[in-house]
Structure 1
Amino acid sequence: MKQRRTSLKDLAEELGVSIATVSRALRNSHEVGEEMKAKVKVLAKRLNYRPNPFAQSLRKKTPRVIGVIVPNLVTHYYASVLDGIEDYASCFGYSVISSNSHESHEREEKAVENFISMHVDGIIACLAQDTVDYGHYLQLHDMGIPVVFFARTCLPDMFSQVVANGDEAAQEATSHLIGAGSRRIAFIGGPNHLDMVKRRKHGYLEALREHHLPIDRELVWCGRIDFDEARNATVRLLQSEKRPDAILAFNDILTYAAFDAIKTCGLSIPNDVAIIGFTDGDSAAFVTPKLTAIMDQANEQGRKSCELLLRHIKGDQHIYKEIVPMILKIRESSEKH
């Protein structure tokens, strides 16, 4: 059950003092003695009291606000997800506040803290690639604050999630590359601990097994989601003795890193190296050659995530797992001539 948030009145009653005294103590006012300040702060921490910055301006109207945490707001995918969230939320009178973790666990934790302090009604989140400790989300669960994850998720027994069928999409894309004549297909992925990476890599490997192609570990690179790092890793692969003749890339950042690496090495796309990337951006149709892409339907993922969150805010405690199918859009970069 959702726990009621601790108020100034609760602290005052516990200590047997006035609300004004508690408020002054928390503001370090000279009107309150040091001993009382210490008592108030210890109790506030124990009862997980958070000040509400909207309290004075919105005394008569409770704000309807949800928080959204994304790893990289400047990418087309996350911008599209946020657009879907805002679209759906506005239909039900909710405002959206977004926070960019910049792929940092520390900044993700800070975003959660800020949202708690702002008394948001619920949170939609996608994990930063650095996040392996989920304590800040366990805290939200204990406080009864609704959370829905999308794309990169955790704690599936506790929180609803919206994901794509990345495994099936990767298997379909790899099979397409094989059918188009590729035999040494590389996978350029993100950190192995991310469930999103695991699903897509699994689909890639399943396609190789299905077509009786050997699995070469040297063709699988999983590292940081960083353009320069992925580009350098791809260049090394392409300059190796047994270079790949095709690449499947995990997301838009790694896709364009690999695309640039192929060009840098003076190789032809798709005749020397074919490429398919997971990307929802319009730019895939404007590069040369036009990029075969696995489309995320990011906007729909955002709408679904918001729909589930509003259900939880209204009291629905069922744990949902929604799967939004991806779409393989075949263009010029994947079929050898």
Structure 2
Amino acid sequence: MTNHKRRTSLKDLAQELGVSIATVSRALRNSPEIGMEMQEKVKALAKKLNYRPNPFAQSLRKEAPRVIGVVVPNLVTHYYAAVLDGIEDEARKAGYSVISANTHEDSEAEVRAIDNFISLHVEGIIACLSQNTTDYSHFEEIAQMGIPLVFFGRTCLQDRFSSVMANGDVAAQEATQHLIDTGSRRIAFIGGPNHLDMVRRRKHGYLEALRENKIPIDRNLVICEKIDYDWAYEATKKLLDNHADAILAFNDIITFAAFSAIKDKGLRIPDDVALIGFTDDVHASYVTPRMSAIEDQSHEMGIESCKLLLKNINGDTKIYKKIVPQKLVIRDTSAKR
């Protein structure tokens, strides 16, 4: 049976020598920043391990088009597809092509995607964290290498990288206030992992609305664990058993899991249980009853992310924090009769 061994990467050389990827990269390019002894060590190991620079990457450095890489957690959702569309539109105007990598919400896939983009010598990277990423060392390595990077949506290391985010805290507070104003009192929140800044911001807005209206916070009505349809469906059933009369859902996957669980329980939306989700207008408009939703300007978020990356590529090293507002669209699932 043939043994398929993967190609040696810059990261492999760096780990073998106990140095950074940046050191290896510079040594292979005969950079004067790297001493001759280290250059010789790197080149000898590269020869021994049959390291070969990616010919595709080499051609990109010599010829058009120039390329940026985009890392997303779940490309099949409308949100990430629309963000990517915005990035591509803006990149195209500046003469860049876009390569995307879908991590499927897996941190190891995210690390591999970043490593591949480094090997391809993309000119910059736009990224959104996978839901189980808690180790940011691969992004710290990007900073050390001086590769331009911008985060959107779910971010980290905000003191080192520019970011584009929505005002999820403000939007969640406005949505929760609407639920209170239209008769709901036992309002629940279903979110993803608590370590994600996006989850924390949205939960904060929900809690602020409860506090401002002097509604006691019931911990049994707040469930934050992961972004998964089956999990969210079961979480919704628990909330209904705890007599939730309204639910604010973190994203489209959780929103439609909650929608299904409420209906499968034989309950009426919104009369028995009101529902507002962070989702897009396409899906929200095509269910019955039509979904009240907090909608992202996802295409605009892609455009703004690309603009910040291009600034960085062109030498602007300032750290920017751009907010793209969300909008609450009231339809049929949120106001009790």
Q: CA 1:103–1:16 in 2, change beyond 3 Å: closer, same or farther? A: closer
Match of 1:208 among 207, 210, 229: 210
d(CA) in 2 for partners of 1:272 and 1:295? 24
Post-superposition offset of 1:52: 3.6
Match of 2:198 among 196, 199, 207: 196
Post-superposition offset of 1:51: 2.1
Question: Partner residue of 2:283?
Answer: 283
**Secondary structure of 1:10's partner?**
coil
Matches within 5 A, 1:90-101: 90-101=92-103
Question: What per-residue deviation string (whole Å, max 9, x for no partner) do you get for residues 176-231 of structure 1?
Answer: 00001000000010000000000000000000011111100000000110000010
**Rg larger for:** 1
Question: Partner residue of 1:121?
Answer: 123
d(CA) in 2 for partners of 1:303 and 1:174? 29
Question: Partner residue of 1:147?
Answer: 149
Question: What per-residue deviation string (whole Å, max 9, x for no partner) do you get for residues 126-164 of structure 1?
Answer: 000110010000000000001100010000100000000
d(CA) in 1 for partners of 2:145 and 2:163? 19
Does 1:65 pair with 2:85?
no
Contiguous gaps of at least 5 residues in structure 2 = 1-21
d(CA) in 1 for partners of 2:175 and 2:196? 20
What one-letter code is carried by the residue in structure 1 that aligns with 2:161? F
d(CA) in 2 for partners of 1:274 and 1:59? 54
Matches within 5 A, 1:1-337: 5-6=25-26, 8=28, 10=30, 14=36, 26=46, 37=48, 51-54=53-56, 57=59, 60-61=62-63, 63-240=65-242, 243-337=243-337
Q: CA 1:17–1:237 in 2, change beyond 3 Å: closer, same or farther? A: closer
Q: CA 1:141–1:231 in 2, change beyond 3 Å: closer, same or farther? A: same
Note if contact 1:65-1:97 (Cα within 8 Å) is conserved in structure 2: yes
**Equivalenced residues, count:** 312
Post-superposition offset of 1:60: 4.0
Note if contact 1:77-1:281 (Cα within 8 Å) is conserved in structure 2: no
What one-letter code is carried by the residue in structure 1 that aligns with 2:141? Q
d(CA) in 2 for partners of 1:303 and 1:191? 27
d(CA) in 2 for partners of 1:261 and 1:232? 8
Q: CA 1:149–1:16 in 2, change beyond 3 Å: closer, same or farther? A: closer
Question: What per-residue deviation string (whole Å, max 9, x for no partner) do you get for residues 213-268 of structure 1?
Answer: 1100000000110000010111122123xx11000000000000100110011000
**Secondary structure of 2:276's partner?**
strand
What one-letter code is carried by the residue in structure 2 that aligns with 1:246? A
What one-letter code is carried by the residue in structure 2 that aligns with 1:239? D
> Normalised by the size of structure 2, how large is the TM-score?
0.87
Post-superposition offset of 1:281: 4.1
Note if contact 1:76-1:281 (Cα within 8 Å) is conserved in structure 2: no
Post-superposition offset of 1:13: 9.5
What one-letter code is carried by the residue in structure 2 that aligns with 1:244? A
Note if contact 1:53-1:117 (Cα within 8 Å) is conserved in structure 2: no
d(CA) in 1 for partners of 2:64 and 2:268? 59
Q: CA 1:17–1:80 in 2, change beyond 3 Å: closer, same or farther? A: closer
Note if contact 2:90-2:303 (Cα within 8 Å) is conserved in structure 1: yes
d(CA) in 2 for partners of 1:165 and 1:128? 20
What one-letter code is carried by the residue in structure 2 that aligns with 1:181? G
d(CA) in 1 for partners of 2:55 and 2:271? 59
Alpha-carbon RMSD: 2.4
Q: CA 1:16–1:287 in 2, change beyond 3 Å: closer, same or farther? A: closer
**Percent of residue pairs identical:** 63
